[in-house]
Structure 1
Amino acid sequence: MLLFSYMPMFGIFIAFKDYRYADGIWGSKWVGFKNFEFLFATEDVWRVTGNTFMLNALFIICGLIMSVFLALLMYEVKNKFLGALFQSSYFLPYLLSWVLVGYFVYAMLTTDGFVNQMLQHFGIESVSWFTSPAYWPLILVLVSIWKGAGYTSIIYLASMLGINTEYYEAARIDGATKIKQIFHITLPQIAPVITIMLLLQIGRIFYADFGLFYNVTRDSGMLYPTTDVIDTYVFRMLRKVGDFGMASAAGFYQAIVGFVLVFVSNTIVRKIDKDNALF
């Protein structure tokens, strides 16, 4: 924690300096908030901020629903061999590189790819996916869920396995159906874990998964209206302009917003139920 989280925080000074590699962090000229002024002076920053927030919110909501759903399915599998097989199958996509996933998506969505062939089979005109930004919020959500939901579901499954089975036995005696058991026993019992996971994810809602947005979209300029996020925008600016100060200012902006959102979300949770709050 000290090495990877706290020591790098000294680099925040770059956000307030006209950083030059030859001069180093301390030798570079202090420019105050000029890097932030440059960052927010362009119209692009509001577009990428909106995209980052909207897409990450979709990832959090849809990912939560699918992760809990997968965990509920695995919880009902009593056969140890099948349980291990399903868990491994759900977990495998998480281990794949985004570069590899990007090639999978490209192979499926290219002009003569699998998806367009299926559309043509049903008499529907093929779509130029990599020049049609309107479709990509849905595509990115599906890809994100496919890759990450299985990993998160293991956490919820572990929480479910800790629930006292006597609750379910009493519910069955009272005639509760499986659906009622889920809504009145399982979900309330894992609510603290769900709350903690949500608060942690909300804290990073302005941090986009660079691998997802860069490799899956293939950094296509035609898709920027709906897929360009803060991380990819800063990367392009850093690659083209080489302005380390502006890139650091964008990272500082993300951190502050995430910090505020965690505290606001936790305060709301505390007012509703103190026991489920993170702190």
Structure 2
Amino acid sequence: MSNIPPAGLPSSQEQPAAPAPVKRKSWLAKELWHIRRNRELILLALPGVLFKLVIAYLPMVGLILAFKYFRYDQGIFGSKWVGLANFEFLFKAQDAFRIIRNTLLYNISYIFLTMAVSLLLALLLNELTSKLIKVYQTTLFLPYFISMVLVGYIGNAFLDFENGYLNTIFTFFGLNTHNWYLETTPWIFILPLVALWKGVGFSTLVYFAGITGISTDYYEAARLDGASRVQMMTRITLPLLKPLVIILFILGLGNIFRGDFGLHYFVPNNVGPNFPTTDIIDTYVYRALTKLGDINSAAAVGFLQSVVGLVTVVTANLIVRRIDKDNALF
């Protein structure tokens, strides 16, 4: 009787066997499983990935030129290694302070001016009920597709000393004419205005797309509470657009050390007397490259601009993460 198990308990022969240990899949097996599962999406993305690889990543091998004294007969890898000597070109240049100052100040003005005007235009477009809103959007967006070479000719039509529109108007009203291409001060205002005219359409449509993505429930509830259109704009639209504004601002900072070459070369016509207010890093390096053939220094400056842009974006993103983690870019 002592060998009989208590009621309700299975005997030793009837006890269930322990479950077999589950074999964990290796990392490679998991990745292969994900690839098989998403093979259609991978095939769709493959052309874009290959394009990016060939156009953007394979040429990065050329960054090694920034640290070498390149000779055509020895090739990229056979040329002499000189370390950081090529980077001295920018900082030891006679006009180093001027071109760095112009590059930073112009880019800061472009970022804030374009952001402010684009937000305002996007808010105004959102208030329109006219059927011509598509025409307004197209009109704003059209200058974005015009090449800087053509923009230079348009600028020359306005600024030419003898037949330019501005001098013609000044003459009509009895004012003094200006030889714009031989003066320095006017370009502090001309270049930001041209940059705004050319880029404001794209930024406006980005912000307008963000506004159209806001749920109409917010506005309907605000109308029931008696809110005015200005109050809805300041209390609903702008706060909900803040993440988009921050992202575009951070991305804009990535080019703060890289000037718009086309704008600063073709619009002022690359005229020497206005260099104090129009010359930037990119135009200075271009002239050095074309006149001296110094490909090493040009590669070094381009590499430095990319590094500064990366550091600026990461730093700005870290600051945003500390202030408002949800609105950080990454």
Task: Normalising by structure 2, report the TM-score.
Answer: 0.81
Q: Which moved more, 1:250-259 or 1:56-65?
A: 250-259
What amino acid sits opposite 2:268 in the alignment?
Answer: T
> How far apart are 1:220 and its partner, in Å?
0.8
What amino acid sits opposite 1:202 in the alignment?
Answer: L
- Structure 1 residue 168 corresponds to structure 2 residue 212: no
**C-alpha RMSD of the superposition:** 1.3
Identical pairs, percent: 47
Task: Normalising by structure 1, report the TM-score.
Answer: 0.96
What amino acid sits opposite 2:291 in the alignment?
Answer: K
- Structure 1 residue 140 corresponds to structure 2 residue 191: yes
The Cα offsets for residues 211-251 of structure 1, whole Å up to 9 and x where unpaired, read as 11111011111111011111111110000010111001101
Equivalent in the alignment of 2:170? 119
> How far apart are 1:172 and its partner, in Å?
2.1
Equivalent in the alignment of 1:183? 234
Alignment counterpart, residue 239 of structure 1, candidates 266, 279, 290: 290
Equivalent in the alignment of 2:101? 50
> How far apart are 1:41 and its partner, in Å?
1.2
Structure 2: runs of 5 or more not aligned: 1-51
Structure 1: runs of 5 or more not aligned: none
Equivalent in the alignment of 1:258? 309
Equivalent in the alignment of 2:154? 104
d(CA) in 2 for partners of 1:168, 1:116: 49
Q: What is the number of residues matched between the two proteins?
A: 278
How is 1:1-279 mapped onto 2 (pairs within 5 angstroms)?
Answer: 1-79=52-130, 81-112=131-162, 113-279=164-330
d(CA) in 1 for partners of 2:301, 2:121: 36
SS of residue paired to 2:129: coil
d(CA) in 1 for partners of 2:233, 2:167: 39
SS of residue paired to 1:22: coil
SS of residue paired to 2:128: coil
Q: Whose RCO is larger (CA < 8 A, sep 6+)?
A: 1
d(CA) in 2 for partners of 1:120, 1:263: 51
What amino acid sits opposite 1:86 in the alignment?
Answer: Y
> How far apart are 1:192 and its partner, in Å?
0.6
> How far apart are 1:135 and its partner, in Å?
1.1
SS of residue paired to 1:19: strand
> How far apart are 1:264 and its partner, in Å?
1.3
> How far apart are 1:124 and its partner, in Å?
2.2
What amino acid sits opposite 1:91 in the alignment?
Answer: F
More helix by share: 1
d(CA) in 2 for partners of 1:23, 1:166: 67
d(CA) in 2 for partners of 1:181, 1:133: 44
- Larger Rg: 1 or 2? 2
